Amino acid sequence: MYEINPNEVTWEWIESDQLICTTCAYIVHAHITPDGTAQAYSTVYDGHNTSGKVLFKMRSYNWTAVPFAFGLPIYASQGIYVTLSDAIDGVLIGYYKIPTPPSQ
């Protein structure tokens, strides 16, 4: 695993389905913010669209913003694509692009 420098983490705030990274990366943080009308849902994929492997899903209960901090970063080998439900203001994703992919 790479040592991740906090100064090299990229933060993306997204408000609609979006490809946020096209290369391999480690996801270090995610935060889901609902719009208050209903529960909010978001799915994060390893890839460039929804045909990639599901890495994790987030749900916000009780219409409150929920941070997701991971004990270890989540590896995305093909990129990072995020989908959002209708009842969501946005999602904040923190990730670290890997300069050289790890050997498999």
Identify whether 102 is part of a domain: no
Asked if residue 7 lies in contact with residue 101, where contact means CB atoms within 8 angstroms, the answer is no
pLDDT in tens, 36-63: 888 889 999 999 999 999 999 999 876 7
Model confidence pTM above 0.85: yes
Examine residue 74 and state whether it is found in any structural domain, yes or no.
yes
Contact in structure between 32 and 68 (CB atoms under 8 Å): yes
- Per the domain annotation, does 103 fall within a domain? no
Q: For residue 37, what are the domain limits?
A: 8-97
Q: How many domains does the structure of the chain reveal? A: 1
- As a whole number of angstroms, the distance between CA 28 and CA 76 comes to 11
Q: Do residues 20 and 90 lie in contact, with contact meaning Cβ atoms separated by under 8 Å?
A: no
Residue 3 lies in a domain: no
State residue 61's pLDDT score. Answer: 76
CATH number at residue 89: 2.60.120
The predicted pLDDT at position 17 comes to 97
